Structures are given as C-alpha cells and as structure tokens.
Structure 1
C-alpha cells in the first residue's frame, strides 16, 4: 500500500540533520507494516497530481496555523475534500488534524488556555493513552458528522473520526523523547512558558503509547472498507 505524505512543515534544521524531517518520523513509526511512501512538500507548493497518486494520505504537523493566509492552504483544503469524496483513507496529525477539520467545516483557533507540550494523557475510547504534544492551536468546533474519539481536560477534540475513512489526532505519535527534547531546545525557549518546558523535560524518560497508536494508524489505513 502506497501512503502519500502531505508534508505541511519542516523539522528544525538541527533535528532534520540528526533525526529526520517529519515524513521520515512517520516512516519510522509505521515501519514493519508493509507501506511504501511518496512525500509531497505542500508547504513548498508541491502537490500530488490527484488523489489517485496514493492509496492513502497522511497530513503532517507544521509550525504554521491552519487559519494563516498561506498560498498552499486553500489547495490543500480542496485536496482534503477531494480525498473525502473519493473515499481513500486519510490520517492527519496535529496541523493535519486541524486543517482537515477546517477544510470540512470546523473551526481552528489559537487556544486561550495556552500550550500543551510534552507527554500528555488522553482518554481514548475507554482507556488512558499518553502521547507527546506540541501545540497551542486546537480544533474548537468539530465539522458536522465528526466524532471525538479522544479528549483531555485541556483538549476537547484530541482525535476525530469522520465515518470510517478519515481519522485525525492532535498530539504527535511520531514524536519520540529525542524529538521532543530537540524541540524544547530549538523552538521552546521564549515561546512556551518555562514551567511547561521544565515539566516536558522531566517527563522525557516516562514511556508513551506512541507505538500502539502507530499500529492503530497502520490498521486504519489497511482495513477493509465497503
């Protein structure tokens, strides 16, 4: 199965050189599930020729806001709507979660409650799941028909399901402790409150459920659909 990765941002240069860009993080997360990949850097204006260029689609995270006036955002939103109409499976993570919601009629805002950074626990369909987060923006209004499948006290719409073909999540299953540590040191200081950065640093050695969510993502892409 070929997964098309719509890359909507780039990792900070020091992390890209050592840990890889965002698409490579997903290659590692989904390793062993038999996928092949092609990346389109939509953040740089590079788009697929059509939704049939891959069997499933994955929209990455980004430092940008879904509501910002970038030239590449409207065509990305249209591509998302075209994918939904076509019926191919799609997954969005962080910015991907937000832009899919916005494209399908939801609302994304800079959350007044501030940032979520580092290891964070969510209630997901009857169990507690821990994943690394790095965001201030949130989906504050779900699109019609979208169902919340994960939430926390801080983030009401932490994961959304659209029928059985689109699933999105606000935190980052692709971010391991090394990547979060790198973000703390390259993008955190002066942006995220110091006490949150300290808390995220202290939690780096505490395990997360990222690989379980990676396995769920793989199953979501591959499952049989009518």
Structure 2
C-alpha cells in the first residue's frame, strides 16, 4: 500500500541533524506495516498530480496557520476534497487536522485560551490516551457530518472522524519528548509562555500512547472499505 505524505512545514534548522524531516517521523511511527511511502513537500509547492498518486494520505503538522495566506493552501484544500470524493483514506495531524476541517467547511483560528504544550491527556472513545501537543491554533467549528472521537477540556475537537475515510488528531503521535524539548529550546522562546514550557519539560519522561495511536492510524489506512 502506497501512502503519500503531504509535508506542510519543516522542523527548526537546529533540530534537523538529530530528527530529520517530518515525513521521516511518520515513516518511523508507521514502520512494520508494509507501507510504501512517497513524500510531497506541499509547503514548497510540490504537489502530487492527483489523489490517485497514492492509496492513502497523511498531512503533517506545520508552523503555519491554516487560515494564513500562502499560495500552497488553496491547492492543498482542493486536494483534500479530491481525496475525500475518491474515498481514499486520509489522516491529518495538528496542522493537517486543522486544514482538513477548514477545507471541508469548518473554521480554524488562533485559540484565545492559549497554547497546549507537551504531554497531554485526551479522552479517546472512552479511554485516556497521552500524546505530545504543540499548538495554539484550534478547530473551533466542525464541518457538517464530522464526529468527535477525542477531546479534553482545553481542546474539545482534538480527534475527529469524517465518515470512515478521514480521521484527524490535533496532538502529535509522531513527536517524542526529545523533539518537544527541542521545540521548547528553539521555536518556543518568545512565543510560548515560559511557565507552559517549564511545566511541559517537567512532565516529560513518562509513558505515552504514540505507538498505540500509530497502530490505530495504520489500521485506519489499511482498512478494507466497500
């Protein structure tokens, strides 16, 4: 099965040597599922010819806002709708979660409640899962037909399903504590309140559910659909 990774941002230059690009994080998260991967750096205007180029799709996180005026956002929204209309499985993470909602009729904005950073608990279909978060933007209005599958008090639309072909998550199952610490030391300074970054650093080191959500993602992509 061929999975197309739509890369919508790049990590800080200071972290590149240790962590590489975002597509590599998803390849590692989904390793062992016999996937073939193709990367499209849509943030650099590198798009697939059509949704037919892969059997399933993933949209990554980004430092950009879904509501910002970038030339690659309208064609990405068109591709999202094409993927939906063709019934191919699609997963969105953080920015991917947000741009899918926006493309399908929802609303994304800079959340007036502030940032969510570091290890965070969510209620996912009645079970508690722990994932790393790094965001201020949020989906604030859902598209018609969307179903919430995960939430907490801070983020009420933290995981969302659209029918049985699209699933999105606001948090980052591809981020380990070490990458969050790297973001704290690079992008966080002067942007995220110091007290939030200190608290996030203090919460690091415990178990997380990255592997569990990664397997959920893999199963979702491989699911046999009518």
TM-score range, shorter chain: over 0.9
CA distance in 2, matches of 1:197, 1:128: 23
Q: 1:217 matched to which residue of 2?
A: 217
Cα offset, 1:27, TM superposition: 0.6
Q: 2:109 matched to which residue of 1?
A: 109
Q: 1:168 matched to which residue of 2?
A: 168
Cα offset, 1:16, TM superposition: 1.6
Cα offset, 1:23, TM superposition: 0.3
Q: 2:154 matched to which residue of 1?
A: 154
CA distance in 1, matches of 2:2, 2:202: 38
Q: 2:19 matched to which residue of 1?
A: 19
CA distance in 1, matches of 2:36, 2:179: 23
Q: Structure 2: 5+ residue runs without aligned partners?
A: none
Does 2:75 match 1:72?
A: no
Deviations 1:138-175 (A, max 9, x none): 00000000000000000000010000000000000000
Cα offset, 1:204, TM superposition: 1.4
Q: 1:88 matched to which residue of 2?
A: 88
Q: Which runs of 4+ in 1 moved over 3 A?
A: none
Cα offset, 1:198, TM superposition: 0.5
Cα offset, 1:216, TM superposition: 0.3
Q: 2:208 matched to which residue of 1?
A: 208
Q: 1:28 matched to which residue of 2?
A: 28
CA RMSD of superposed structures (Å): 0.5
Q: 2:8 matched to which residue of 1?
A: 8
Cα offset, 1:206, TM superposition: 1.5
Q: 1:48 matched to which residue of 2?
A: 48
**TM-score where L is the length of structure 1:** 0.99
CA distance in 2, matches of 1:30, 1:130: 18
Cα offset, 1:13, TM superposition: 1.1
CA distance in 2, matches of 1:85, 1:36: 23
Cα offset, 1:15, TM superposition: 1.4
**TM-score where L is the length of structure 2:** 0.99
Cα offset, 1:195, TM superposition: 0.7
CA distance in 1, matches of 2:30, 2:203: 24
